[in-house]
């Protein structure tokens, strides 16, 4: 449930205080609205309403997966809410290991024909060995996304923390911690501002008492590989070790790397300057800097490698982070100059203005969508208790919050000018995270952007589009040098440096269709946000991706059509206990979408290239069709090998791409193939890793089975697959489960495929009444949908003027033409005669 529309955007802003360079001068009265007061000061009804969009807890965070995330796209911050020693953990979106590099294997081009021959001969082990030796990139791994370290805020005079509460308000993107120390009330706010590109921490004390603070920096290499604090797992899920109110951690200053410098940068600022790490033989080439500037009414000074504050009542800390990254082949930037400029400019603003600018920019995007599934009484319980209660306790409001939390995470980790959201969005506490925290494009990166269209956050796709434009450049080198082909290619992973060679080994890396899937993801973005300008950017990317396959597809040895070779069905071994193969189902499905979209883009742009168009149509016609195996399943490979695969409940369901996110297989047009997809899903099982659970949820939703989808959703929302801060538990943390799960929840209510908008297509009985306003559909149409007793009660539409929109509900299709203002509505009784 979203915040009431009647709440003004600026009613929770504090009145700006007059400032000088050294601090805030008490010259104005601090004014707060009801929504800005601590929870214990509000009425029960007001608290329940606010908490519909609020993650809240009655104890501080212990391990990292209990902390609350903030982000501006470029800068990420995790807030722990510890009273006596606050920990603020930082990330910069371009802080990766290594530097510009080329991983293409020089043996690739010569060995490629021999690999193909071995595959045709079904000499699987020899093919696998040759792929490993001659086709895999050098180095075999990609560069890791690294943490930027912690600011540790020690409060030496603090003695207690009564009536404690910490929260994250998704509607304002502000983290709040409140507690009492004796008669003194402490209030701490934190937000990560996109307009000012800084993290702002505001500390206030009312009553007797003052803010005494020692602030220092801790390098991220204090954590072992994997990180995530003191988390452990058992048969029932994740066991969390929370913090006492006084949870002190050492700065470990004696273990800082030699490349790190922490020093005073003026009387009221601390500058942290360092270099990134070498990784897998690639030297570290990035410089990075963090700068924290303090503005307050107490005594502020930088002493050695610490910032000290004494006797303050109001204190604002402004933090900026930057690297020397300019682009994937240029690391000549000046991060120190950048952080000085940002912190100086932001510190010159009154705190109230910083907060107002931040909240306004956030709400301009966040408030586009509202979702209410009922169950508001659950909002009175702490968020971690609600997660622990699923599925034993029904919590429809948690599912609604899960959608809004995913929207919040996408807004915070992917904005124009930033890098795309990676495996962990933008939040990671260690130097070398699991799976390097990079861009895995055989599912995970694409899943990150599944909700962008329907959740009405199209702007968040811009970083992904820019990354694909850069991959088209580096991927052209790989296409030419490795395959002797035109166009561009990228395999199953990439990183900040836009590496495109196959990596990680033959089980994962020898998959040439990653770039094509990125293209079809951008095509979905276009479906939700069509525009001529976007089509102009997409066309050369799609043509380049398509022409690569025109040059590299080969004739199947059994005469079944054109296939990719070598390839694999992502991360899954077939009957020969290797992954390498030719023409897996997912490749064929992705290429159908790529070729179709390319032809549509050509037609829309009146792009006259008859030879290319004719070749593309002929190749499209020769792609082998999807097949149903002997067990009634949708075949994962061109041959019926599914029953012999060593892992029958494999996490990937790659061959069901055609069901979701594609629409090639659907319940309306291809019922036999849809049934085969159900057989496959039943064989794979409902329980898997976090992101794989989200994909199963989306697939059952698209197949119209709301009850099966709801059952899987309960597993996703519960403690096995969701951490206390609502992060997805792969485990460990991977953000794609959050995004995939949110997209599937929206799809349970409104689906776009087959030229129609499908209403309540997979609505479970557990949500008999609700509303979804501002959801986006294909064609750039927005809908407000209300339902009661499981039936539509109101449908309103907004979109391009005079656009014809087809809707389907309960088996009946209804068309409406939007008026001159681009508005329309449907009487729900129009669907009453449907099946």
**pLDDT tens by residue, 691-722:** 999 999 999 999 999 999 999 999 999 999 99
**Are residue 86 and residue 116 in the same domain, yes or no?**
no
* Cis peptide preceding 675, ω within 30 of 0: no
Distance (Å, whole) CA 693 – CA 712: 7
Q: Does residue 18 surpass a pLDDT of 50?
A: no
- What is the overall mean pLDDT for the chain? 91
Compute the distance between CA of residue 274 and CA of residue 254 in angstroms, rounded to an integer. Answer: 15
Task: Indicate whether 49 pLDDT > 60.
Answer: no
Q: What is the pLDDT of residue 244?
A: 57
Integer Cα distance of 36 and 193 in angstroms = 18
- Domain count within the chain: 3
Q: Tell whether omega for the bond before 391 is within 30 degrees of 0, i.e. cis.
A: yes
In a domain, 344, yes or no: yes
Residue pair 493/517 in contact (Cβ under 8 Å)? The answer is no
49 and 185: one domain? yes
Q: How many CB atoms lie within 10 A of CB 18?
A: 10
Contacts of 754 (CB under 8 A, 6+ apart): 663, 666, 668, 669
Positive or negative, the CA dihedral 797, 800, 802, 805 is negative
For residue 813, which phi and psi values (nearest 5 degrees)? -100, 130
Q: How far apart are CA 646 and CA 644, in angstroms?
A: 6
Helix, strand, coil percentages (3-state) for the chain, rounded to 5, are 35, 25, 45
The reported pLDDT for the residue numbered 223 is 55
pLDDT at 235 over 60: no
Where residue 505 sits, what CATH number does that domain have? Answer: 1.50.10.10
- Helix ranges (H only) for 280-424 are 335-347, 351-366, 383-389, 396-413
Distance CA 679, CA 743 (A): 23
Q: Are 127 and 566 in contact (CB under 8 A)?
A: yes
Neighbours of 245 (CB within 10 A): 17
Mean pLDDT on 114-139: 97
Same domain, 131 and 198: no
Interior/surface letters 527-542, b for 16+ CB within 10 angstroms, e for the rest: bbbeeeebbeebbebb
Domain presence at residue 419: yes
The C-alpha atoms of residue 447 and residue 541 are separated, in whole angstroms, by 20
Evaluate if residue 332 carries a pLDDT over 90.
yes
Q: Number of helices (H) and strands (E) in the chain: give both, helices first.
A: 17, 33
Q: Say if residue 132 is in the same domain as residue 154.
A: no
Residue 229 has pLDDT above 60, yes or no: no
Q: How far is CA 554 from CA 233, 318, 467, 621, in A?
A: 47, 58, 29, 14
> What whole-number distance in Å separates Cα of residue 826 and Cα of residue 797?
8
pLDDT, residue 253, reads: 63
Choose between 399 and 304: higher pLDDT.
Answer: 399
Regarding whether 445 and 356 lie in a shared domain, the answer is no
Give the Å distances, CA to CA, from 462 to 88, 525, 735.
28, 10, 19
- Reduce the DSSP state of residue 713 to 3 states and report it: helix
What's the pLDDT band for 256 if we cut at 50, 70, 90? confident
Domain closes at, from 685, 718, 735 = 685
Does the pLDDT at position 726 exceed 90?
yes
**Would 559 be classed as within a structural domain?**
yes
Which range marks the domain in which residue 457 is found? Answer: 108-138+414-685
Residue-wise pLDDT for 467-519, tens only, equals 999 999 999 999 999 999 999 999 999 999 999 999 998 999 999 999 999 99
| Phi, psi angles (nearest 5°) of residue 415 | -130, 155
Residue 659 lies in a domain: yes
| Domain finish residue from 367, 387, 422 | 367
- Cβ(610)–Cβ(538) under 8 Å? no
Closest C-alpha among 710, 197, 799, 697 to residue 456? 799
Does residue 383 form part of some domain?
A: no
Same domain for 169 and 127: no
- What integer pLDDT is reported at residue 833 of this predicted model? 61
Helix (H) or strand (E) holding 475: helix 462-478
- The pair of three-digit structure tokens given for residue 786, joined into one six-digit string: 């209300």
**Residue 516: its H or E element:** helix 514-528
d(CA 221, CA 147) in angstroms, rounded, equals: 9
Do 785 and 671 reside in the same domain of the chain?
Answer: no
Angle, CA of 742, 366 and 821, to the nearest 5°:
105
Q: 133 and 156 in one domain?
A: no
Identify whether 522 is part of a domain.
Answer: yes
In a domain, 761, yes or no: no
Q: Are residues 124 and 80 in the same domain?
A: no
Closest CA to 215 of 144, 148, 128, 156: 156
> What pTM does this model have?
0.93
Tell how strand 232-234 and strand 211-218 pair up: unpaired
Whole-number pLDDT of residue 34: 27
Exposed (0-12), middle (13-18) or buried (19+): which is 327, by Cβ within 10 Å?
middle
Span 762-781, pLDDT tens digits? 999 999 999 999 999 999 99
Residues 674 and 781 placed together within one structural domain of the fold? no
pLDDT at 4: 30
Respond yes or no on whether the N-terminal peptide bond of residue 47 is cis (omega within 30° of 0): no
Other beta carbons less than 10 A from residue 754's beta carbon: 15
For residue 63, CA distances in Å to 151, 353, 787 come to 16, 33, 41
Supply the angle between the helices 736-749 and 690-702 in degrees, to the nearest 10.
20
Mean per-residue pLDDT, 321-331: 98
User: Same structural domain for residues 177 and 322?
Assistant: yes
Domain boundary among 642, 659, 685: 685
In this structure, the number of other CB atoms found within 10 A of the CB of residue 6 comes to 5
Which positions ≥6 away from 387 have C-beta within 8 Å? 398, 717, 718, 719, 722, 723, 724, 726
CA–CA separation, 208 and 590 (whole Å): 65
How far is it, in rounded angstroms, from Cα 164 to Cα 117? 67
User: Are the beta carbons of 55 and 725 closer than 8 angstroms?
Assistant: yes
What CA–CA distance (Å, rounded) separates 304 from 257?
A: 17
CA dist list (Å): 628 to 590, 647, 648, 677, 705: 18, 19, 17, 9, 21
Contacts (Cβ under 8 Å, ≥6 apart) of 438: 96, 142, 143, 144, 145, 422, 423, 493, 494, 495
Residues 654 and 797 in one domain: no
Nearest of 534, 474, 466 to residue 501 by alpha carbon: 474
Using CA of residue 279, residue 282, residue 283, residue 288, what is the dihedral sign? negative
Q: How far is CA 522 from CA 483, 485, 604, 660, in A?
A: 25, 23, 16, 15
Q: What mean pLDDT do residues 143-161 have?
A: 93
Neighbours of 267 (CB within 10 A): 12
CA-wise closest residue to 73 among 194, 233, 243, 237: 194
**Residue 204: strand pairing partners:** 187, 314
* β-strand partners of 347: none
Mean pLDDT of 422-443: 95
Measured at the CA of 587, the angle between CA 583 and CA 591, to 5 degrees, comes to: 120
Parallel, antiparallel or unpaired: strands 211-218 and 150-154: antiparallel
Helices (H), 635-705: 671-684, 690-702
pLDDT value at 1 more than 90 = no
Predicted local confidence at residue 245, as pLDDT: 55
Task: Say if 725 falls within a structural domain.
Answer: no
Beta-carbon-side half-sphere exposure of residue 152 (alpha carbons within 13 Å): 19
Helices (H), 578-670: 585-605, 610-621
Mean pLDDT for the stretch of residues 345-374: 98
* Contact criterion met (CB below 8 Å) for 789 and 772: no
pLDDT at res. 243:
54
3-class SS at 771?
Answer: strand
Q: Which structure tokens are listed for 356?
A: 């107002």
Give CA angle at 677 (675, 682), nearest 5°: 95
Q: Is the pLDDT of residue 792 over 90?
A: yes
């Amino acid at each position: 449930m979203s915040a009431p529309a009647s709440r003004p955007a600026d009613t929770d802003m504090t009145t700006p205080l007059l400032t000088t360079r050294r601090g805030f001068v008490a010259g104005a009265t601090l004014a707060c609205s009801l929504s800005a007061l601590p929870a214990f000061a509000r009425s029960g009804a007001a608290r329940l309403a606010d908490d519909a969009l609020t993650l809240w807890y009655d104890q501080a965070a212990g391990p990292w997966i209990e902390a609350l995330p903030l982000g501006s796209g470029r800068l990420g911050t995790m807030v722990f809410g510890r009273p006596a020693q606050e920990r603020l953990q930082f990330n910069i979106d371009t802080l990766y290991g290594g530097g510009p590099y080329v991983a293409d294997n020089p043996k690739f081009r010569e060995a490629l024909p021999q690999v193909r021959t071995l595959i045709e001969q079904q000499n699987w082990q020899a093919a696998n060995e040759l792929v490993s030796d001659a086709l895999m990139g050098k180095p075999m791994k990609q560069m890791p996304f690294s943490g930027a370290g912690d600011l540790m805020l020690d409060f030496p005079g603090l003695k207690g923390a009564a009536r404690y509460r910490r929260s994250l308000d998704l509607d304002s993107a502000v983290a709040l911690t409140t507690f009492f120390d004796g008669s003194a009330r402490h209030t701490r706010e934190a937000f990560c501002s996109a307009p000012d590109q800084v993290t702002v921490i505001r500390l206030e004390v009312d009553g007797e008492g003052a803010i005494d603070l020692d602030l220092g920096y801790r390098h991220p290499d204090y954590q072992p590989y994997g990180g995530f604090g003191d988390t452990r797992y058992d048969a029932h899920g994740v066991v969390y070790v929370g913090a006492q109110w006084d949870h002190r951690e050492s700065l470990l200053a004696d273990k800082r790397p030699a490349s790190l410098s922490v020093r005073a940068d003026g009387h009221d600022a601390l500058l942290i300057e360092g270099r990134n790490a070498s990784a897998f033989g690639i030297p570290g080439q990035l410089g990075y800097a963090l700068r924290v500037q303090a503005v307050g009414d107490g005594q502020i000074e930088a002493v050695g490698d610490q910032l000290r504050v004494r006797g303050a009542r109001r204190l604002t800390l402004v933090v900026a982070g930057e690297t020397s990254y300019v682009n994937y082949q240029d690391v000549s930037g000046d991060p120190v100059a950048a952080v000085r400029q940002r912190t100086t400019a932001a510190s010159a603003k009154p705190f109230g203005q910083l907060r107002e600018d931040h909240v306004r920019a956030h709400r301009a995007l966040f408030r586009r969508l509202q979702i209410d599934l009922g169950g508001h009484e659950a909002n009175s319980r702490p968020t971690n208790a609600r997660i622990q209660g699923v599925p034993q306790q029904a919590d429809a409001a948690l599912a609604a919050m899960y959608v809004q939390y995913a929207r919040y995470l996408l807004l915070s980790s992917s904005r124009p000018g930033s890098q795309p959201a990676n495996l962990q969005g933008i939040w990671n506490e260690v130097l070398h995270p699991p799976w390097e925290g990079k861009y895995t494009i055989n599912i995970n990166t694409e899943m990150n952007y599944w909700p962008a269209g329907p959740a009405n956050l199209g702007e968040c796709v811009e970083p992904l589009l820019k990354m694909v434009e850069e991959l088209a450049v580096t991927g052209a080198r790989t296409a030419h040098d490795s395959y002797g082909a035109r166009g561009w290619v990228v395999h199953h992973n990439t990183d900040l440096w836009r590496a495109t060679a196959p990596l990680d080994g033959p089980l994962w890396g020898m998959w040439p269709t990653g770039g094509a899937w990125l293209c079809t993801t951008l095509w979905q973005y276009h479906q939700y946000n069509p525009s001529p300008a976007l089509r102009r950017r997409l066309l050369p990317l799609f043509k380049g991706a398509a022409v690569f396959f025109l040059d590299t597809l080969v004739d199947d040895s059994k005469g079944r059509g054109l296939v990719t070779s070598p390839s694999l069905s992502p991360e899954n071994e077939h009957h020969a206990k290797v992954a390498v193969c030719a023409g897996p189902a997912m490749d064929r499905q992705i290429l159908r979408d790529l070729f179709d979209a390319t032809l549509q883009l050509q037609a829309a742009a009146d792009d006259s290239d008859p030879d290319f168009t004719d070749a593309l149509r002929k190749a499209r016609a020769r792609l082998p069709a999807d097949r149903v195996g002997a067990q009634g399943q949708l075949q994962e490979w061109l041959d019926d090998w599914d029953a012999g695969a060593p892992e029958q409940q494999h996490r990937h369901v790659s061959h069901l791409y055609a069901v979701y996110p594609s629409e090639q297989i659907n319940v309306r047009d291809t019922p036999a193939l849809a049934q085969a997809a159900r057989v496959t899903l039943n064989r794979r099982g409902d329980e898997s890793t976090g992101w794989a659970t989200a994909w199963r949820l989306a697939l059952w939703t698209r197949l119209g089975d709301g009850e099966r989808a709801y059952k899987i959703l309960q597993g996703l929302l519960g403690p096995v697959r969701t951490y206390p801060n609502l992060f997805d538990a792969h485990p460990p943390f991977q953000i794609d489960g959050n995004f995939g799960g949110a997209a599937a929840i929206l799809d349970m209510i409104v689906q776009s495929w087959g030229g129609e908008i499908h209403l309540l297509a997979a609505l479970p009985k557990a949500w008999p009444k609700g509303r979804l306003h501002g959801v986006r559909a294909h064609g750039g149409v927005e809908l407000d949908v209300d339902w009661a007793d499981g039936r539509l009660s109101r449908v309103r539409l907004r979109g391009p003027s005079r656009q014809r929109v087809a809707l389907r509900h309960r088996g009946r299709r209804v068309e409406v033409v939007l008026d001159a203002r681009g508005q329309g509505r449907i009487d729900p009784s129009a669907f009453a005669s449907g099946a």
